[in-house]
Amino acid sequence: LWTRCRATLRERVGTGSFQSWISPLRLASIEGGVATLTVPTAFLGSYVARNFQEAILAVLDEAGAPATRLIFTPQGRAIPQAATALAEAPAPAAHPEPAAAEETMRLDPRLTFDRFVVGKSNELAYAAARRIAEGNAVGFNPLFLHGGVGLGKTHLMQAIAHEMRARNPQARVLYLSAEQFMIRFVTALRDRKMMDFKQVFRAVDVLMVDDIQFIAGKDSTQEEFFHTFNALVDQGKQIVLTADRSPVEIAALEERVTSRLQSGLVVQVNPADYELRLGVLQSKVAVARAADPSLRIAEGVLDFLAARVTSNLRVLEGALTRLCAQASLVGREITLDLARDCLGDVLRASDRKVSVEEIQRKVAEHYHIRLADLIGPKRLRSFARPRQVAMYLAKTMTSRSLPDIGRRFGGRDHTTIIHGVRKIEELMGIDSQIADDLDLLRRALES
Ligand code: ADP
Ligand code: MG
């Protein structure tokens, strides 16, 4: 039962969160509407309770084992006898010791260089990744890859790890998400094991931290990361980082951290163009065909997908997987009609394309100010706030770069745009009026 639930949860919460938070859980029992899960640490339990409670309850419900409440028991505490029957695997004896660092996050065997299709949007990042993996990247420290979701950052990073381990099995290559870095740090603090923690992280040859934006604003984690980072760079050890934004765009990151992050090689992974999208599809089809030779895809289907599903490669890949599953279920060829039927929602989602100009018009209208005042230089609060809202929406709803958005706001500098975006991010949490405005505007723009 739990095995099935885990599979569904992995899909819902994403592999990264799953590995960090869900994977260590074991279902001990379900009795009287209460599901008891064992957790390695109380900290993990409280985090899961806060963030994944709903998801877990929903999945249990769907699996025919409804519960209304979750209880988290730290491992080692006795669990009710009757309950053990349900547990599909004995809980591991202890939380993985820091010594087993390399095992924190298993690499996905599919994310290798062979399976990475190179195009204009990612060739620089690819070249840099290759250089690092081959060990001749003097001065590329850290390598900082950034770009939107689903564009291949994690893929490239894991490819580096695979390649390095293959070339030198002795090398201590540690790959983990920033979220996991934080968990390990917080756990070490709590258990007074900071010495061990420092030892593990200072002893690696290569440190790879995925989605580093996660630690922004988490002051003590950020601080510890900064020390780890410096210690490794001083020893000439390689560091690879990814983020969904460039170092300067990550809000709430201390200045000294930002500048260290920028001190190596910062490379952007750009949205894939049509050629790359088609290339990725073709390569996935080749892999799928090797597993199932009966797979048939009509002429034009891949081009259609590549042309229409433009948001990111993960969505594109998901669309293809869904299509293949559907086709094998009904045992027929994948045709354009089947694709249209089966992918209606994905296709509609990529139809929406919002422009900066549209955002500005809608925002001006919403706040009853003139478009010229929204874009113009006046600093009156009644213009400045709507202007920042428009900047925020432009940054989050379009794929325009900051300098590009700056140009569209009367030739403002990109730092002004960053400032505006941050201001709104800050206000969102404390000013419900702004939050409502954003919600309304977003929906108006999306429809
Ligand atoms: P990110 O970390 O940037 O959000 P991922 O690395 O997780 O993105 O990529 C999303 C999916 O798209 C993964 O399944 C990955 O294998 C695939 N993918 C991304 N870029 C490429 C590429 N250039 N060639 C082949 N597959 C790719
Ligand atoms: Mg990623």
143, 219, 56, 72: CA torsion to nearest 10:
130
Domain identity same for 372 and 319: no
pLDDT at residue 104 is higher than 70: no
Domain identity same for 321 and 403: no
Rank 45-59, 173-187, 248-262 by mean pLDDT and report only the highest.
173-187
Q: How far is the CA of 418 from the centre of ligand 2 (A)?
A: 23
Domain identity same for 130 and 263: yes
Name the residue at shortest CA distance from atom 16 of ligand 1. 155
Report how far residue 323's alpha carbon sits from residue 306's, in angstroms, rounded to the nearest whole number: 14
Index of the ligand 1 atom closest to the CA of residue 147:
3
268, 287, 316 — which closes off a domain? 268
Contacts of 93 (CB under 8 A, 6+ apart): none
pLDDT at residue 76 is higher than 70: no
The mean pLDDT of 78-102, rounded to a whole number, is 38
Binding site annotation covers 331? no
Domain identity same for 413 and 339: no
Instruction: Summarize the chain as % helix, strand, coil (round to 5).
Output: 60, 10, 30
Confidence of residue 89 (pLDDT cuts 50, 70, 90): very low
Report how far residue 169's alpha carbon sits from residue 416's, in angstroms, rounded to the nearest whole number: 47
Residues with CB under 6 A from ligand 1: 111, 115-117, 122, 149-155, 280, 313-314, 317
Mutation pick for ligand 1 pocket among 19, 151, 162, 281 (CB with most ligand atoms within 8 Å): 151
pLDDT at residue 159 is higher than 80: yes
Q: What is the CATH number of the domain that holds 328?
A: 1.10.8.60
The mean pLDDT of 96-104, rounded to a whole number, is 40
**Ligand closest to CA 312:** 1
CA atoms within 13 A on the CB side of 332: 6
Confidence of residue 408 (pLDDT cuts 50, 70, 90): very high
Q: How far is the CA of 439 from the centre of ligand 1 (A)?
A: 30
Domain identity same for 122 and 258: yes
Rank 105-119, 166-180, 261-275, 361-375 by mean pLDDT and report only the highest.
361-375
The mean pLDDT of 135-151, rounded to a whole number, is 86
**Ligand closest to CA 285:** 1
pLDDT of residue 276: 94
pLDDT of residue 84: 32
pLDDT of residue 163: 94
Domain identity same for 360 and 405: yes
The mean pLDDT of 35-49, rounded to a whole number, is 79
Q: Which one, of 178, 220, 185, 190, lies nearest residue 200 by Cα?
A: 185
294, 318, 351 — which closes off a domain? 351
Count of H helices and E strands in the chain? 20, 8
Q: How far is the CA of 315 from the centre of ligand 1 (A)?
A: 10
pTM of the model: 0.63
Q: What is the CATH number of the domain that holds 78?
A: 3.30.300.180
Index of the ligand 1 atom closest to the CA of residue 149:
4
Phi and psi torsions of 275, nearest 5°: -60, -45
Domain identity same for 69 and 154: no
Binding site annotation covers 217? no
% of the chain with per-residue pLDDT over 90? 43
Domain identity same for 370 and 432: yes
Distances (CA, A) of 411 to 360, 362, 374, 385: 14, 20, 13, 18
Domain identity same for 341 and 360: no
Domain identity same for 242 and 299: no
pLDDT of residue 350: 61
The mean pLDDT of 323-335, rounded to a whole number, is 85
Index of the ligand 1 atom closest to the CA of residue 151:
3
pLDDT at residue 78 is higher than 60: no
Contacts of 325 (CB under 8 A, 6+ apart): none
Domain identity same for 317 and 409: no
Cβ–Cβ under 8 Å, residues 93 and 58: no
Q: How far is the CA of 418 from the centre of ligand 1 (A)?
A: 27
Binding site annotation covers 150? yes
**Residue 167: in which H helix or E strand, if any?**
helix 153-167
Q: How far is the CA of 335 from the centre of ligand 2 (A)?
A: 31
Confidence of residue 256 (pLDDT cuts 50, 70, 90): confident
Per-residue pLDDT of 277-296, as tens digits, reads 999 999 999 988 888 888 88
Structural domain boundaries enclosing 211: 103-268
- ipTM score: 0.99
pLDDT of residue 14: 80
**Ligand closest to CA 277:** 1
Any idea which of 114-128, 379-393, 424-438 has the lowest mean pLDDT? Answer: 424-438
Please tell me which residue, 301 or 446, carries the higher pLDDT value: 301
Neighbours of ion ligand 2 (CB under 5 A): 153-154
Q: How far is the CA of 126 from the centre of ligand 2 (A)?
A: 15
Q: How far is the CA of 211 from the centre of ligand 2 (A)?
A: 6
Please tell me which residue, 262 or 136, carries the higher pLDDT value: 262
Q: How far is the CA of 15 from the centre of ligand 1 (A)?
A: 13
Domain identity same for 130 and 264: yes
Per-residue pLDDT of 176-191, as tens digits, reads 999 999 999 999 999 9
Name the residue at shortest CA distance from atom 14 of ligand 1. 314
Index of the ligand 1 atom closest to the CA of residue 313:
12
Binding site annotation covers 395? no
Q: What is the CATH number of the domain that holds 120?
A: 3.40.50.300
Please tell me which residue, 242 or 435, carries the higher pLDDT value: 242
Mutation pick for ligand 1 pocket among 213, 241, 313 (CB with most ligand atoms within 8 Å): 313
